[in-house]
Amino acid sequence: MSVKFNCYFPAEKPFFFVIKVDSNSMIVELLEEIAVELKDYGREFKRTDLHLFKTDVPTKPKGTLLERALQWLHEQPADSELDEMDSLSLAFPHGPHPINHLKLDIIVADAEVLEMVDGLGDPYDVYKRKVKKALNECLNNRLSLPSPSELAKKPEKLDEVFGGEEHGIHIGRPGGAPAAIFNPALAALQQSLGDLEQVDISEDEASQAANYIRCAVKFYASEDLHQKAIKELVDAAIGETGEWQRPVNMAHGHDITPDRCWRYDPFVLELKNTLGVYGDALLQAIIDYSRIVSEDEYKPFRETCNFPIVLIGVTANRLEISIAVCVGPIYVTKLLTLDLSFGFHASDNVIQLARVFKILSRHRVELKNYYRNFENSTPPRLSCLFPNPTPIDPSKPLPKLTYRQFLSRAGQPTPDLVDLGGCTTAMYVATLDDTSEEVIVKFTARYNEAAHHLLAKAELAPKLYFCERVVGDLYMVVMERVSGISVWQLQQDKTPIPEIVLTKVKEAVRLLHQKDLVFGDLRSNNILYVLVENRVVLVDFDWPGKDGEGRYPATLNRSTDMSNTWHKWVLPHGVMHKEHDLWLMEQLKVLCKPNV
């Protein structure tokens, strides 16, 4: 005898369907039938991907069924999940609900549905799921990258890999965010390598470094001979025996074989005999890393780990050290390049290399501890995609906050992974842990804290909560989030610009000029109007400088289409003057209309 079960799959695109099976079937057979049915809806699952729950959720009203099904899963009774090894008659001794009862018999869930259940009550849950989707698309796209060997044979593919935003791998061309702002262990390594003089070395450590240089300056008939000559020296210097030539299995192409990996993979080393396209060890290490972290094996960790790593390139006698993170886009920061040699400066070179080796050995332990602790921790979902900076001055701790959203270049929240390859700033929405207040967090290379405080005190700028330098040579700025609309947006919407905008901007400029400060960037996108408070604030204090002394960024755009944006004497790296602000205010005056 056949029976029919009302089934519901409460995903983002939910499905209601009826499954007809023999009453003597096992639950595992029911699972297989459901997997086939879902395939007809365009969702392909393995049987092991699905969970079945016995339920009695009413099917009406239809408009709230998704919310009610998810809430039921959140509060599900004990033992409601069906065991695939049971029979239908055991799980449903009285059979499915009568048709006229209008109730679900089974709720079907996969990992996505269970994630939606976990996110109930989280106002950012939908946003997080969109970010996760964007993250997976970004990393899956890298599975088609050419292998290091293909790249060596066809150097024109370098542009395909590094030349655009498609793969999002940034090695400083054109730019990219400092890797150190995303991981404290990498920040600590960067600080140590930036202060080599403070590292004391022993006679044995100096001897190891000297032996390495003796091997590095030789010429070898093959890379195998080069590797054989240095591998024991490298292992001794790092402090752990690495796995040389260990293949990394790739499901979507040729396996990758970095020249050296350590357990937990905190370091990857590539070795080449000569400089040039065919011998760029660091580029090959970056490709290795990019493809490895994109593999399905690491998919379960994408939401909680940004895979911090140290990349070591050994090309002939050159030693290059970089750090990298994967936050969707991959950001690589080159920390150090040593061209090793003997000769007149042999002693200095030995001491410098010995210090570098000692630092690498010490920070290898820190990175290994990071990965070990990560295995036993449960960080918030997607927190790894946001910065986790380290203050330059430890006496000025960072504010405790929780990142919530990415901001686009236009300053709007977006679930897309913002690629910082061509950016000069990065901005995020966060909440302060102690007050839950929403704030803007900004990372930028220059910032005028005094100018911001001056206008914030007059309520002509957002409140400024924090402004300090972090490792990566950036300022971390935390400020009030103002719910305003920019004058630029008002223009785009063809909305009249209230006269109060000009009045308040004049007041702000007057206060700045009294302190001999030039704002410099009074463009319409940096002036916000808050309608509900009838308030005007200036934002973006990256440029302000002292009148007659401060300078505009050397990257200021004076192209033809920007010619009417600036005073004629506003130039890249040009000196800032008060008259430049006054000229921009005249342009604003034309835009403003009296209140109607």
For residues 520 and 378, the model is more confident at 520
- Mean local confidence (pLDDT), 220-233: 85
Lowest average pLDDT, out of 132-136, 266-270, 449-453, 583-587, goes to 266-270
Q: Say how far residue 187 (Cα) sits from the centre of its chain.
A: 15
pLDDT value for 505: 97
Q: Distance between CA atoms of 201 and 361, rounded to whole angstroms?
A: 12
**What whole-number distance in Å separates Cα of residue 392 and Cα of residue 387?**
15
Amino acid letter, residue 29: E
In eight-state DSSP terms, residue 173 is S
The set of residues, in sequence order, having a beta carbon less than 8 Å from that of 318 and lying 6+ positions away, is 275, 337, 338, 339, 340
pLDDT value, residue 214: 93
Q: Average pLDDT of the chain?
A: 88
Strand partners, 480: 439
Question: How far apart are alpha carbons 439 and 430 in whole angstroms?
Answer: 5
Mean pLDDT within 55-73: 95
Among candidate residues 540, 525, 546, the one with its CA nearest the CA of residue 462: 540
588 has pLDDT over 50: yes
CA distances in angstroms from 377 to 117, 305, 313, 373, 531, listed in the order given? 21, 11, 32, 6, 44
Torsion of the alpha carbons at 484, 488, 491 and 492, rounded to the nearest 10: -100
- Dmax of the chain from CA atoms? 95
- Collapse the DSSP code of 39 into the 3-class scheme (helix H, G, I; strand E, B; otherwise coil) and give the result: helix
Residue indicated by tokens 């506003």: 570
Give 593's pLDDT tier (boundaries 50, 70, 90). low
CB within 8 A of 579, min separation 6: which ones? 567
Confirm if 445 and 478 have CB atoms less than 8 A apart: no
**365-374, 446-455, 556-565: the lowest-pLDDT one:** 556-565
State both tokens at 250: 């790739």
Burial of 106 (0-12, 13-18, 19+ CB in 10 A): buried
In the predicted model, what is the mean pLDDT of residues 126-133?
A: 90
Q: Which residues of 231-262 are buried (b: 16+ CB within 10 A; e: fewer)?
A: bebbebbbeeebebeeebebeeeeebbbbbbb
pLDDT bucket at 277, cuts 50 / 70 / 90: very low
3-state secondary structure of 94: coil
Task: Indicate the pLDDT class of residue 561, thresholds 50, 70 and 90.
Answer: low
Question: Average pLDDT for residues 360-375, to the nearest whole number?
Answer: 85
